[in-house]
Amino acid sequence: MKKRLVAGMLVSLMAASMVACGSSSDTATTDTAADAGADTQTEAAEDTAASGDLITVGFAQVGHESDWRTASTNSVQAAFSEENGYDLQFVDCDNDSAKQIEAVRQFIQDDVDYIVIDPIVSTGWDTVLTECEDAGIPVIVIDRTIDDSDKYVSWVGSEFMNEGLAAGTWLKDYAAAKGITDLNILVIEGSNGSSAQIGRTDGFKKIADAEGWTILDSQDGDFTQDGGQQVMESYCKSYEGQFNVVVCQNDNEAFGAMDAMKAAGVSYGVDKDVILISFDACKAGLEYVQSGDINADFMCYPLQGEYCAAIVQQLEAGETVAKQTFMTEPWYVAEDILESITYTNNAGEEVTEELVVVTDAASQASY
Ligand code: GYE
């Protein structure tokens, strides 16, 4: 299908496909949606390969800051392979928003068929997305969200606010089960201005405020191991002997924080000085949950390439695409103390979610 046709379709899609919500009925399970995506893709790839015409896709990736990011990059590159009928232009934006906007403008100049963006920050997108629209190039957003513009066709990713709410609720129930009444918390946030940082911070804070917990400090660790280590080193000096919970907004920050705590003589994990909470649930993270060094790890599913390619194929076929597709994510814990947690999610629904005890990280982790 030629881009001009897709552009025409884009306008009606925007008007018709505002199915935004976060209710469980719109939540794609990772298996079923990925399977459906894979089927559509194979058929379409056969057609495309037969015609010898590759679909060009520009992908402006955040950077290479974490294990999660590596998994995301691999997933998108595998889904948009030449074998599958695509010519992928991949740009690692190195966590630099200006560079990311520049990459999108270059895709417009190169007249790609589709643009995929994982937005480093959630604001500042309207102008360049208008340029994409004017050029007739459909934009698909993955992972992080965009706040200030609706000029994209579809988004695939996680509900970060729910991840934060779940972490807070788990801490509340876990502390009660262990008889810990006084919680003094240090937070190492993800990259400032990213929707992942904003959602996880706000969700957790909502529970902390309701429970009257003390958040001693909350600083940016940039989603990196180095960042986590540096922030934790300074926390260990400034708050020596004053904290008993550390919340890291991704696994790599948690790895850095563990090194810093070890060096400062602070113990962490199951029945130690500090309860350690993390997000992402990547393989190395789950190994630390299994060993009891991380108490709980809230999954954020990065293998979104298949979903994204399935959306491209739907657009190629002239079908209506969902405005939002949510990943389904389990919450992992080290101990068999609580079976589930119940909380009110970002869509205002009361949900009960199982907690999965990590007993075999190697087979429980897929990235
Ligand atoms: O948690 C972190 C990565 O945007 C959800 O970015 C993603 C976050 C993920 O660097 O590890």
Chain segment 79-134, per-residue pLDDT in tens: 999 999 999 999 999 999 999 999 999 999 999 999 999 999 999 999 999 999 99
What is d(CA 224, CA 365) in angstroms, rounded to the nearest whole number?
20
Average pLDDT, the chain: 89
The pLDDT score that the predictor gives to residue 43 is 54
Closest listed residue to residue 297, CA positions, set 275, 271, 277: 277
Phi and psi (nearest 5°) for 89? Answer: -100, 110
**288-308 mean pLDDT:** 98
For residue 156, how far is its CA from the centre of ligand 1 (angstroms)? 14
- The pLDDT assigned to 28 comes to 41
Residue 364 has pLDDT above 80, yes or no: yes
- Ligand 1 centroid–CA 174 distance in Å is 25
Which residue's C-alpha comes closest to atom 8 of ligand 1? Answer: 196
pTM: 0.88
Percent of the chain with pLDDT over 70: 86
Across 248-255, average pLDDT? 98
What's the pLDDT score for residue 46?
Answer: 53
How much distance in Å is there from the Cα of 143 to the middle of ligand 1? 8
* pLDDT over 70 at 33, yes or no: no
Strands (E) in the chain, as ranges, are 55-61, 86-92, 114-117, 139-142, 154-157, 184-189, 214-220, 245-248, 275-280, 296-299, 324-326, 331-333, 340-344, 350-357
